[in-house]
Structure 1
Amino acid sequence: MKFLAVDVGTSFFKGAVVCAESYSIRNVIRRPSPEPLAKPDPLHHEHDANAIVEVVRAILEELSEHAPECEGILLTGQMGGLVLSTSDAQPLTPYISWLDRRATGPHSSGSGSMFQHLSDRTGDNAGTVFGNEFRPGLPLSFLWTLHDQGQLTPLAGSIPVTLPDFVAAALCGGEPVMEWTGATGTLDIRKSQFPVSLLDELGLPALEWPQLVDFRYVVGHCRLTNLTLPVYAATGDHQCALAGTLLSRGELSINISTGSQVSMLTDDTTPGDFQIRPFFDGQYLKTITNIPAGRALTAIIRLLTEMPGYDSGSLDAWKYFFNAAARTPKTDVQCNLGFFPGAVEGPGEFTNLQEDTLTVGHVARASVEQMADYYQQLSTRLDAGRSWHQLAFSGGIAQQAALLRDLIVERLQAPWRLAATTEDSMFGMIILGRVIAGLNETVADATADAEQYLMQEGTES
């Protein structure tokens, strides 16, 4: 059974034809995300929601030419943002991106920021309710800010959804729904429902919160030029990608790419010094996100290649950086890679630089050693008992940087494996597609079958 699969990312959208039976990913295409709208305020980061839908539709049209026999559309994408929609998927607001920082702007009282006032009103309750998913780039912060600015009252009765949820509904003109994994930062994690009482306490106008569904739910049917296909509820990109790494119970996921996270599956929603997100099969993720990784290294490599004639984005620059780290077995240089807000407190810095250590090798070695230390510290924060039996590496940097993997394994002292593909999200949609197609009953079953298939393929090759 084949599906058209699209990942609605932040900078790029990616589409492919995926087969739930052969585990194949074919005809991969990438398209840039539409440019943000002109900013009326430097803190704003908005997109035309309909323009995004049209890019996704164009990807689906192109993919459908390669798979006239496909049987459905699967979507995943960025979490955290907000679109207020009508019941027939007409946007009443632009898409407010998770990159938007309007909630950090001044409150109408003239004292403190929007988010500070929201935090004061909710107290410690919000962190417990939302599984520590409580920060300026999430829907509640946007709703609070719109309310303070008098923009929410005229939108009473509208449906608040994430971008992938809106895209799924708009493709078929159906009523927007929200898939469990996409409800991160919006769901009362303890009760698996929207926190209506908390919203009432905040005095927000009444909104029509969408129906909560799982990924098997058919939102409606999308009419393409030559096909009419069911559109399944869109999933959160983090959870879909982890499904694509074949994460199982007892494994510690270490994803190292532009961003980075450590995650484990759990049934427990007890708050801790980490985030809790809905996963599939009624499970949850314990996770720590925004760990310095590719974004921080990009800043360092950009500095090192700033002179004319060099390109910080080239594969050669990255290869040189990691090779230089490997050629420098030890260094006294120390660093903090907290160049941007995240799991590691800044400011970023390099210290103990001497004349003989002011080299790419020492800077690179200090960087990867510090990254390995972060994973050791944050993994232990995630699970103080270190109950994992295996490490599961994924992400482009984890795939390429053997030295970094070795340093992490040395610190965590556990067996490890590498994700079978760099196309985590696409492979995740294959796993979900197997459940939709009736080939497996649960995501856990589909994961186990995929592991067996890949093991057999590896043995035969």
Structure 2
Amino acid sequence: MRYIAIDVGSTFLKAGQLDVQNLAITHMESIRMPEPLPNENPLRKEWNAIQLLELMKGLIDRQLASCPGCKGIWITTQMHGFIITDEYGVADTPYISWQDERGLEYADKLGTSYFSALMDRVGEKAWRRTGLWEKPGVAAVGLFHMLQQADLGLEIKRERQGKACAASMNDIQTLDSKRLCTLGGYLIQSLTGSHVCHITNAAPTGLVDVRAGKWDKDIVSAVGCQALQFPRIVVGIDSVGHYHSRWGGVPVYPDIGDHQASVLGSLADAKNEAIVNMGTAGWISRVSDAYRIGEWELRPYFEGRYLPTITKLPGGRNMAVLVRFIADVGQSIYGITLTEDTLWERLLAEADSFSQKFLAGERQAGKGQLHVHVGFYGGQTGTDSGAIDCINGDNLQVGGLFAAAMEEIAAIYERNLYVLATAGEAIRRITFSGGVMMKNAFLRDAIAKAVGIEAVMAPERDEVFLGLLRLALVSEGLYASVEETREVLLQKLHANNKGA
């Protein structure tokens, strides 16, 4: 009994098969996410929605060809973004992602940025119901920007049938025939005709009352998009329709937020573990049985639980700034080009060597260590500037630079883990997940040492697929809850490791 799983991330689109009998993930396939549409405005991050749809359906069809009797299709996607389609499910806009910050643009008629104007309209009390921090990269802000620009008679470019064309936003303003879709919901609509989305992907739009599990009428009204057709929010994990493919009808399951799938796939203990994930950006999270408001985002999870989460932490893109600098030196000065993996491997080795030789001695002597402020991107949690200081005659070396940057990132995560500890029982262990953490033992050790508690790596590199496997096991009726699947998967992985 096998299911197909598809993961649409920020860097890669991946697919695989979930073998619920053998508790295995097989037939993995990965393609790189296309480049965003060209735009002179650096705040705009849009992707050709039809191109993305073709890539996603292509992955599914290739998997179906090698999965006879497929039991269903599971989907997990990046969150916060949106697409507007017509009543037939054809994209009227590009996919506008979480990386899009058009809301920060200044609006003359509002006397402030679109983002600030919307937050003022919504008010702090109402926005708290979304469980989100105030941030520009959510669908609510992008929609508000679009509709405000419609009032000004401006034009945007949209993608229809793969061809760019100019369309007045006044056309989009006839919203009663338009549908709001999450990225996963857009795929489901194309596959099944059902206009739905899962609560884990609906909530990140900033248009949902998380506790009620419903679209928030007050926020929708403040945005001005109440005439849109909103998808039905699904809270459970039952199938939402069928994909009538050349291999027959295949059940399709609701789109799961990649964050929730990752937490589930980490196999962390729901009571006293924190998950530290680092990919392009970083986040830390834990599971809570209670609806607790605090210095964190509060995201819906499974079976009535929530995820207190601290987001926008430094991640792989912060370290990549330094990697690109070293790569540029090698290419410009020495005419040497190294692959990204080779360069990372050498830089981490240099950081480890420098740390062993110099950092311990500098600490013992009370010398000022090289300090790298890693805030190379605006609006990140725990850091607000990018700089290198405390340079002395010994520490400005490649290894010193990278060791100092990772020590700084570890300190940022340590401070925020202490904040997250107040959201429930004491945190007794850390589980690391994400591609950057998988590759970067130096950073894992630095965070674990800073926090001073046990730390382990998630058992699977692509943990979102393990999370979807847990959901498939429950959907198949083999287990009553996702909690029951944790122990059996841990035993299976332990047996596999012992056998290897």
Global fold match (TM > 0.5): yes
Q: In the alignment, is the contact (CA less than 8 A) between 1:87 and 1:176 conserved in 2?
A: no
SS of the aligned residue for 1:30 comes to: strand
Q: CA deviation at 1:87?
A: 5.0
Q: What CA distance in whole angstroms lies between the structure 2 residues aligned with 1:79 and 1:162?
A: 8
Q: Report how far residue 133 of structure 1 moved.
A: 3.7
**Aligned residue number for residue 458 of structure 1:** 497
Residues matched between the structures, number: 460
**1:420 deviation in Å?**
0.9
1:427-453 superposed Cα distances (whole Å, 9 cap, x missing partner): 111111111111112222222321222
In 2, the alpha carbon distance for the partners of 1:46 and 1:89 equals 18
Q: What CA distance in whole angstroms lies between the structure 2 residues aligned with 1:300 and 1:148?
A: 39
CA RMSD of aligned residues (A): 2.1
CA distance in 2, matches of 1:414, 1:386: 15
Deviation at 1:110, TM superposition (A): 5.7
Give the whole-Å Cα distance in 2 for the aligned partners of 1:48 and 1:315.
29
Equivalent residues in 2 for 1:325-336 (5 A)? 325-329=351-355, 330=359, 332-336=369-373
My pick for the range that moved more, 222-231 or 362-371, is 222-231
Contact 1:6 1:75 in 2 (8 A): yes
Task: Name structure 2 gaps, 5 residues minimum.
Answer: 151-168, 363-368
Are positions 1:324 and 2:350 aligned together? yes
Please list, as runs of the form range in 1=range in 2, the aligned pairs for 1:338-357 lying within 5 A after superposition: 338-341=375-378, 342-357=380-395
SS of residue in 1 equivalent to 2:464 = helix
1:370 matched to 2:389? The reply is: no
Structure 1 counterpart of 2:182, one-letter code: T
Q: Which amino acid aligns with 2:194?
A: E
Contact 2:110–2:117 (Cα < 8 Å) also in 1:
no
Residue 58 (structure 1) shift: 1.2
Change (3 A) 1:382 1:313: farther
Distance in 1, matches of 2:493 and 2:373, equals: 39
Under a length normalisation based on structure 1, what TM-score does the superposition of the two structures give?
A: 0.94
**CA–CA separation in structure 1 for the residues paired with 2:28 and 2:236:** 22
1:258 aligns with 2:297: no
1:278 aligns with 2:300: yes
| Match of residue 382 from structure 1 | 420
For 1:223, the equivalent position in structure 2 comes to 244
Tell me the SS of whatever aligns to 2:98.
Answer: coil
Mean Cα deviation higher: 377-386 or 428-437: 377-386
In structure 2, the partner of 1:81 is 81
Query: Which residue of 2 is the match for residue 180 of structure 1?
Result: 199
Alpha-carbon distance in structure 1 between the residues aligned to 2:280 and 2:83:
25
- In structure 2, what is the Cα distance between the partners aligned to 1:379 and 1:313? 34
Q: Deviations over 1:235-266 (max 9, x none)?
A: 11111112111133211111123321111101
Stretch of structure 1 that moved more, 394-403 or 239-248: 394-403
Post-superposition offset of 1:458: 3.2
Distance in 2 (CA, whole Å) between partners of 1:312 and 1:269 is 49
Is 1:153–2:179 an aligned residue pair?
Answer: no
SS at match of 1:328: helix
Q: Which residue of 2 aligns with 1:238?
A: 259
Q: Aligned partners of 1:9, 1:399: CA distance in 2, in Å? A: 17
CA–CA separation in structure 1 for the residues paired with 2:403 and 2:41: 40
| Greater CA drift, 156-165 or 137-146 | 156-165
Match of 2:454 among 411, 415, 428: 415
SS in 2 for 1:378: helix
Q: Rate the CA distance shift 1:85–1:443 in 2: closer, same or farther, 3 A.
A: farther
1:203 and 1:297, CA in 2 relative to 1: closer, same or farther beyond 3 A?
Answer: closer
Q: CA deviation at 1:316?
A: 2.0
Change (3 A) 1:243 1:114: same
SS in 2 for 1:76: strand
Tell me if structure 2 keeps the 8 A contact 1:258–1:295: yes
Are 1:195 and 2:195 matched, yes or no? no
Worse overlay, 312-321 or 324-333: 312-321
- DSSP 3-state at the match of 2:231: coil
SS in 1 for 2:430: strand
Contact kept, 8 Å, 1:248 with 1:444, in 2: the verdict is no
Question: CA offsets, 1:133-156, max 9 Å, x none?
Answer: 432111110121122122353123
Aligned-residue offset at 1:194: 1.3
Q: Could you say what secondary structure the match of 1:362 adopts?
A: helix
Q: Is the 8 A contact 2:207 2:220 kept in 1?
A: no
Is 2:4 the counterpart of 1:4? Answer: yes
Q: Aligned partners of 1:132, 1:124: CA distance in 2, in Å?
A: 11
Partner of 1:22: 22
Amino acid of the residue matched to residue 179 of structure 1? H
More strand by share: 2
Q: Indicate conservation of the 8 Å contact 1:276/1:287, yes or no.
A: yes
Instruction: Please state whether the residue corresponding to 2:190 is helix, strand or coil.
Output: helix
Distance in 1 of aligned mates of 2:406 and 2:418: 18
Give the Cα–Cα distance (whole angstroms) in 1 for the partners of residues 200 and 120 of structure 2: 27
Q: Which residue of 1 aligns with 2:53?
A: 53
Q: Please report how far the alpha carbon of residue 40 of structure 1 lies from its aligned counterpart in structure 2 after TM superposition.
A: 7.4
Contact in 1 for aligned 2:118/2:222 (Cα 8 Å): no
1:33 paired residue number:
33
Contact 1:322 1:364 in 2 (8 A): yes
Query: CA–CA distance in 2 between the matches of 1:365 and 1:43?
Result: 31
Q: Secondary structure at the match of 1:209?
A: coil
After TM superposition, give the deviation of residue 190 of structure 1 in Å. 2.9
